[in-house]
Amino acid sequence: MIELIPAIDILHGKCVRLSQGDYDTSRIYSENPLDIAKRIEDHGLHRLHLVDLDGAASSHIVNYRVLEDIASHTSLCIDFGGGIKSDKDLSIAFECGAQMATIGSLAVKEPERFLNWLAQYGSKKIILGADVKKGKIAISGWKEESREDILPFLEEYASKGIEKVICTDIEQDGMLQGPSTQLYQSILQKLPKLGLIASGGISSLQDIERLDEMGITAVIFGKALYEGRITLKELERFL
């Protein structure tokens, strides 16, 4: 059964969602992210993907107090991403209650440091963030496009011990038009043992069911939940 991972994206301390990674499209869904996290927990879900959008566009993590607040008032297993660009940032994330850290930009810009973290903390705690735009890895809060092609990038890190990757198709993210099944299928064909976490475009329960049938390990979703396309009550049958 596919693992369900609701997402809370934080901008200026508030729960927001973007469309296609564009910060100018941000829409506020809650002034208090902890309230959202408690509702998620109350319906029996155990995981949370918490993204520091301010940090992703900055040189360090910013919203670690939100992480600390949610971690100390819920029992959710939190993976935290956005702005982790130094040893200090990573330490802060874990000290504030993250059980896992999602690293994207630094895995492209500083692969040696990323691999050191992987060796130090292990593949259960370090998740590779692979944000994709037109087949290329995007970095720095999706504002930069690298020269890295998605499949060779994932193959390289899989060969070095990465077990879990969050793959987001930026052009689908926040659009409520369905996930990039073709992209995920190509990844699974190349790397069938990789723990692939699909993210971006989820619009309905049917999208989640389709990913489950494909053999996707887990799915991250946000906007569909906040827009009422998916309800927490409906998700209980997946648990």
**What is the number of alpha carbons within 13 Å of residue 170 lying toward its C-beta?**
22
Name the catalytic one among 52, 69, 79, 131.
131
Contacts of 139 (CB under 8 A, 6+ apart): 104, 105, 108, 109, 131, 145, 146
Name the catalytic one among 9, 52, 69, 207.
9
- Cβ-in-10-Å burial (0-12, 13-18, 19+) of 12 comes to exposed
31: left (phi over 0), alpha (psi -120 to 50) or beta: alpha
**Alpha helix (H) residue ranges in the chain:** 33-42, 53-56, 64-73, 87-95, 105-109, 111-121, 150-159, 181-190, 205-214, 223-226, 232-235
9 part of the active site: yes
Phi first, then psi: give them for residue 79, nearest 5 degrees.
Answer: -105, 130
Q: What is the 3-state secondary structure (H, E, C) of 187-237?
A: HHHHCCCCEEEEECCCCCHHHHHHHHHHCCCEEEECHHHHCCCCCHHHHHH
- With H, G, I as helix, E, B as strand and everything else as coil, classify residue 32: coil
131 part of the active site: yes
Name the residues annotated as catalytic.
9, 131
